[in-house]
Amino acid sequence: MKHSIIALAAISLAGCASTGGDAAPGQATPPPAQMVCNADPAQYHIGHDATQAMGAAILKDSGARTLRWGPPNAAWTMDYRQDRVNVQYDEKMKIVAITCG
């Protein structure tokens, strides 16, 4: 029983361990590169169909980390995120605006 508890504790603690990546022991792992949205390179997608593939292309072109779709006549939260690209589309599923935030 005692060995079972010790083994369970060791397994539990192993889950808390982090891998150091490429950093040497005692050295902090550098943070991931900041992904900031720039909607300018994605503007040529306006007028195209709002599809999953188009969303992936907009995400790549804008450099954003996340994408938020805006259906017609929808209310959006006003929270600003510098790593998010917003894509609004109309009733015909055509992209009408691409912004950051």
Quote the radius of gyration of the chain (alpha carbons, Å).
22
Q: Which of 76, 58, 80 is nearest to 67 (CA)?
A: 58
> Which CATH number do you get for residue 58?
3.30.10.10
pLDDT at 81 over 70: yes
pLDDT higher for 77 or 63? 63
Mode of pairing for the β-strands spanning 66-70 and 84-89 = parallel
**What H or E segment, with its residue span, contains residue 23?**
none
Residue 18 lies in a domain: no
**Number of separate domains in the chain:** 1
Q: What's the pLDDT score for residue 76?
A: 84
Residue 2 lies in a domain: no
Residue 50 lies in a domain: yes
What pTM, to 2 d.p., does this model score? 0.66
Residue 79 lies in a domain: yes
- Residue 40 burial (CB count, 10 A): 11
Residue 53 lies in a domain: yes
Residue 12 lies in a domain: no
* 92-101 residue pLDDT tens: 999 999 999 9
For 94, the domain range is 36-101
- Residue 54 burial (CB count, 10 A): 17
